[in-house]
Structure 1
Amino acid sequence: MTVFFIGAGIGDADHLTVKAHRLISQADVIIYDALIDNQILQLVPENCLQIPVGKRGGKVSTPQETINQLLAQYAPVYKTIIRLKGGDPGIFGRINPEIETLQAINTDYELIPGISSSIAAPLLANIFLTEKENSHGFMVVTGHDPNLLNWQVLSQVDTLVILMGSKNLPIIVDKLQEYGRSHLFPIAIIKQAGNSQQQIWKGTLGNIVEQTVNISLSPCIIVIGKVVR
């Protein structure tokens, strides 16, 4: 018995790795997060047990302890258990508690990388995170709790990529301006990257909130830097 932690990548099944595609098509049990595309779920065998454990900010979420219990329940019984997470499982994937659960019951696991939205979404929006003149590097952070971040440091990064930041967009742009970024500094928001519902807004720290007022932006990636131009 092995539990495979698989990154579903970004968008539909076209963005899965070959290994992820093969394992999903052989699954006995698949425990999957909220943002998994239905096209990917159609790859599982007919007799596969499918268990949704969506975790979405601001909405009812499956407690982490419940997910741990599901893994402990099914891992000793079935041959191939898939724990399917959006993007890459190691990037804000809350993976440690689940691995610790498996280790406690001496169950094997394997980590299968996925294409992270932090890298793929900007590319799909024609934004290149590193450029010789405009960006010597980039930093990826979560915008879930802006008060935990060091904005004095972040305001100096060439290119900043923020996941899970839609709810706190006004705070994010205010913090960057407070620590020295101009109100004219470029910013982009990419929603539903990698599928037919993809939307892109480009603007500045001074006008992006007004551009997107009363629009539901989740799930989205925020890119801040000269590369947005």
Structure 2
Amino acid sequence: MSALVRRAGAELVGTAFLVMAVVGSGVMASRLSPNDAGLALLENSIATGAALVALIVALQPVSASFNPVVTIVERLLGVIDTRSAAALIAAQFAGGLLGTVVANLMFGLDAVTISAHERTGPGLWLGEVVATVGLLLVVFGTVRSGRADRVAFAVGGYIAAAYWFTSSTSFANPAVTIARTITDTFAGIAPASAPGFILAQLLGGALGLLLVRFLYPTVVSAASAAEKEVIS
């Protein structure tokens, strides 16, 4: 089995479980706390952040981006080649859709239920730009400063927090956005609202790339980073 097939498989499985965490915890939260949207969001954000930590720790040795924007930025930074990026992105979209279908079925819903939850407007789009810029800063800032072993905790913590400090509740992921159009639940987004979110995420990706290149022009190895910490 080729390395690319294994990496694509990891992206498919990881993105599927990520979306299961997002959608499934959203359904569970809305059922357990039907009259308290704030508590439901807290439950949803904790489950998503914790799942991200676990999934990245488990799959990082193979591949653990779970996000087309992250993969595109990896390609633009020269971390992966175009063929690999295309395969990983396709796997992420497929995994996201699979994850939603499984989550819907786990909770006794139809496999596909088109969301009626409209999420649109300049404030929400700005929220997605901010969420995506921050995510890229956390991912690549951690990795490029020689602390790749901590990226799981950084990303999980950031996403759990960004659910709360961004107006959009931090989708920050085109594959997850598309996946959430086929569940008419707490975590859903209407198909008509998805393009605006995805465009905002791509803009956030471009701005995040510029920021990463500015702040981290070179990649620090884990060994040299440890040495610097000892010296300082």
Instruction: Please give the range of the TM-score, normalised by the shorter of the 2 chains.
Output: under 0.3
Choose between structure 1 and 2 for higher RCO, CA contacts under 8 A separated by at least 6 residues: 2
Q: TM-score, normalised by structure 1?
A: 0.25
More strand by share: 1
Q: TM-score, normalised by structure 2?
A: 0.25
